[in-house]
Chains A and B, each alone.
Chain A
Amino acid sequence: EAGVAQSPRYKIIEKRQSVAFWCNPISGHATLYWYQQILGQGPKLLIQFQNNGVVDDSQLPKDRFSAERLKGVDSTLKIQPAKLEDSAVYLCASSLDRSTGELFFGEGSRLTVL
């Protein structure tokens, strides 16, 4: 069974530029999560989708971050414009449904903002 796929693995941009990350969850998983992980910290939830609907985006900085999961399968997270403090690993995870806390994570996309 294929795992959660993410791309790109690494991205370096200058502040005020934009960046997009892509995630393809495990087939059949209805719930998709985007987490931000700053070095030395645990993951912080940015947004949770159930199929193509947003369940929770309370911690998403909506002035600069956006995410979509239009067809209820893969998802894109965008940052525009990026700030220095956005340097982090962006982790995508999926689960069969929202009732379980058993998440399957991708390898992450490491963003460096200069």
Chain B
Amino acid sequence: GQQLNQSPQSMFIQEGEDVSMNCTSSSIFNTWLWYKQDPGEGPVLLIALYKAGELTSNGRLTAQFGITRKDSFLNISASIPSDVGIYFCAGRPGSNYQLIWGAGTKLIIKP
């Protein structure tokens, strides 16, 4: 079946650093989404992307829909303590397909 490779698996960063993570798929997608999950909570949608090459920002977060339609990237600028959590990418080849989820990137801020 289709798979998403999300990397890195975890990141240890200093407060104030920029963060980059990405997701690649084995097939072409027409939708990419990025969610964040805090401990004990459900995932929350951060950014949705619907067009190849699209670059969308949400505050300090910026996500891009890769030109090949097989990848997506999420950047966080000037990280703060509340950015800690698990970031999931999700995507699908079309609206009649189920979302496929990555395994998540765990963001940890070094004290």
How many residues on the A side are at the interface (Cβ–Cβ under 8 A)? 22
Contact A107 B40 (CB under 8 A): yes
Count, A-B residue pairs, CB within 8 A: 49
Nearest CB in chain A: distance from B8 CB, A: 14
> Chain A: interface secondary structure?
loop
Contact A101 B90 (CB under 8 A): yes
Contact A41 B103 (CB under 8 A): yes
Residue B61 lies at the interface, judged by CB distance under 8 Å to chain A: no
Residue A60 lies at the interface, judged by CB distance under 8 Å to chain B: no
Contact B41 A108 (CB under 8 A): yes
Given known pairs A101-B92, A108-B41, the reply for A43 and B101 (CB within 8 Å) is yes
Alpha-carbon distance between A108 and B91 when the two chains are bound, in angstroms: 21
Contact B31 A42 (CB under 8 A): no
Nearest CB in chain A: distance from B98 CB, A: 5
Contact A43 B43 (CB under 8 A): yes
Contact A103 B45 (CB under 8 A): yes
Residue B84 lies at the interface, judged by CB distance under 8 Å to chain A: no
Contact B92 A42 (CB under 8 A): no
Residue A14 lies at the interface, judged by CB distance under 8 Å to chain B: no
Contact A98 B95 (CB under 8 A): yes
Residues of chain B within 8 A (CB-CB) of A106 are 42
A97 closest partner in B (C-beta): B95
Residues of chain A within 8 A (CB-CB) of B101 are 42-44
Nearest CB in chain B: distance from A42 CB, A: 3
Which of A40, A45, A100, A105 is in CB contact (< 8 Å) with B98? A45
Q: In this complex, which of A4, A42, A43, A107 has the most chain B Cβ atoms within 10 angstroms of its Cβ?
A: A42
Residues of chain B within 8 A (CB-CB) of A67 are none
**11 A/B residue pairs, CB under 8 Å, sorted by A:** A41-B103, A42-B102, A44-B101, A45-B99, A93-B42, A99-B95, A101-B31, A101-B90, A101-B99, A108-B40, A108-B42
Which chain A residues have a beta carbon within 8 Å of chain B's beta carbons? 4, 40-45, 48, 56, 91, 93, 98-108
